[in-house]
Structure 1
Amino acid sequence: MCSGGFAKCLGISLMPLAIVCVLCNILLFFPGGQSVESEHITEQVWYFGGILGSGVLMIFPALVFLGLKNNDCCGCCGNESCGRRFAMLSSILFAAVGVLGAGYSVIVSAVAINHGPRCVTGFNSTEKLWTTPFSNGDYLSNTSSWTVCKEPTNIVSWHLGLFSTLLVMGLIQMALCGVQVVNGLLGALCGDCCGCCGGSNDAA
């Protein structure tokens, strides 16, 4: 497969991952599927790891990778000034942006998982008491402690499930962008599709 075609496959893979990450971050603003006041939302949600890091910053590399296919195969064999090598080289920069964005999302998600959600842990005569009862990550191996969160319903599993999804998606995005770094280097050094050009020359 030519390097431009392979980059397009990577771009196609990154787009749905970015959409999933944005949706997960949006859902985190509704803990347990409920609407709460902004000050009761877990702090790490406001860092927008899924929306900015694995979302917006990932869309730019994905679009660039998709566009590299237009530079693919045989249209300018023997013409090294056509810009294909530069296009593959520039894709490395966008891949690096993707790695940074996904890395940011991964870090935010890991911190959020370790700290746990903000939830109602008690009541007094006038209001609910919102705290962050899990500050050291021990709740991950002690599910019985989840009952300390009275509201919103199923907030711990909601928080853990969505941030875990963001964590996994971010790691996959980092891996895909890392692959494009290697692919871009090969495309820049060896040409966008040496095999196709070779085939064209043979046919001539």
Structure 2
Amino acid sequence: MCFEKCARCIGIALIPLAVLSVVADILLYFPNGETKYAEKDQLTTLVWFFEGIVGAGILMILPIVVFIGLKDNDCCGCCGNQDCGKSCAMLASVLVALIGMAGAGYCFIVSALGLSQGPYCLTELGWQYPFNSTNGRYLTNYTSWSECTEPKHVVTWNTTLFSILLVVSGVEIILCFVQLISGLVGGIVESCCHCQEIVRCNDIEVNVYEVQE
């Protein structure tokens, strides 16, 4: 049915998003491609929350696998009944969608906090969070970015990568939510269709029995 095809499309769409989130998160550890800041622990603490690697990346593996394989999954026939199994599989995808939304939501929240807090960098007063008290207003005040002297262009680096993670996780939440609704509707429809088939079969059996009499 179209519900399984929709789930497969969502699963395929989640693959590049999950890969992009992992790559973006890894790059946050190496401002300008340099490793010394990670070695000296001179990065924003939010980087160590692994929001892109775990939240929007690894946790997306389960939804991706389940959504793509949903078309061929019938929960082992659900006690030997294939139609009932399809309904169970669709409803099970709802739980998986919730897991995906939780992981993407975690990434979304941490990324938003990362943008609001700003980078940890070297200023005239030493290593600190110079934009922590601006509530994100520094994002549009480009002249203030020069306060960070090291790592070079760290504001641009962090802002770009956290923005990518924010957008990617937001899209993942939307896709998983769509599958959540689709799974609920699909599970109910599959179940109703199965019940109708049982009723029709029972009616046929009754008619045959009456004819035989």
TM interval, short-chain normalised: 0.7 to 0.9
State the shift of 1:130 in Å. 1.7
Q: Which residue of structure 1 aligns with residue 169 of structure 2? A: 170
What does the per-residue CA deviation read over 1:41-85, in whole Å, with 9 as the maximum and x for residues that have no partner? 11110011101110111111111101102249xxxxxx5555111
The amino acid of 1:45's aligned partner reads V
What does the per-residue CA deviation read over 1:98-141, in whole Å, with 9 as the maximum and x for residues that have no partner? 11110000000000000000111138xxxxx3211110222112
Give the distance between the partners of 2:73 and 2:49, measured in 1 at CA: 37
SS of the equivalent of 2:88 reads helix
1:5/1:38 CA distance change after superposition, 3 Å: farther
The amino acid of 1:47's aligned partner reads F
Is the Cα–Cα contact under 8 Å of residues 116 and 132 in structure 1 kept in the other structure? yes
State the shift of 1:34 in Å. 1.6
Is the Cα–Cα contact under 8 Å of residues 68 and 88 in structure 1 kept in the other structure? yes
State the shift of 1:186 in Å. 1.6
- Runs of 4 or more, structure 1, over 2 Å off, are 79-82
Residues matched between the structures, number: 184
Q: Which residue of structure 2 aligns with residue 126 of structure 1? A: none
Is the Cα–Cα contact under 8 Å of residues 83 and 190 in structure 2 kept in the other structure? no
Give the distance between the partners of 2:176 and 2:95, measured in 1 at CA: 10
Is the Cα–Cα contact under 8 Å of residues 4 and 71 in structure 1 kept in the other structure? no
State the shift of 1:38 in Å. 4.3
Check if 1:47 corresponds to 2:46. Answer: no
Give the distance between the partners of 2:72 and 2:12, measured in 1 at CA: 14
Give the distance between the partners of 1:88 and 1:140, measured in 2 at CA: 43
TM-score by length of 1: 0.84
Give the distance between the partners of 1:32 and 1:168, measured in 2 at CA: 22
Unaligned segments of structure 1, at least 5 residues: 73-78, 124-128, 195-204
1:1-204 aligned at under 5 Å gives the runs: 2-35=2-35, 36=37, 37-71=39-73, 81-122=83-124, 129-135=126-132, 136=134, 137-191=136-190
Unaligned segments of structure 2, at least 5 residues: 75-80, 194-213
What does the per-residue CA deviation read over 1:132-157, in whole Å, with 9 as the maximum and x for residues that have no partner? 11102221121000000111111101
The amino acid of 2:175's aligned partner reads L
Give the distance between the partners of 2:155 and 2:20, measured in 1 at CA: 20
1:175/1:38 CA distance change after superposition, 3 Å: farther
Give the distance between the partners of 1:68 and 1:176, measured in 2 at CA: 15
What does the per-residue CA deviation read over 1:1-35, in whole Å, with 9 as the maximum and x for residues that have no partner? 61111100000000110010001100000123221
State the shift of 1:187 in Å. 1.3
What does the per-residue CA deviation read over 1:147-193, in whole Å, with 9 as the maximum and x for residues that have no partner? 0011111110100000000000011000000000111012101129x
More helix by share: 2
TM-score by length of 2: 0.81
Taking only aligned residues, the RMSD between alpha carbons, in angstroms, comes to 2.0
Percentage identity across paired residues of the two chains: 48
Is the Cα–Cα contact under 8 Å of residues 97 and 176 in structure 2 kept in the other structure? yes
Is the Cα–Cα contact under 8 Å of residues 84 and 190 in structure 2 kept in the other structure? no
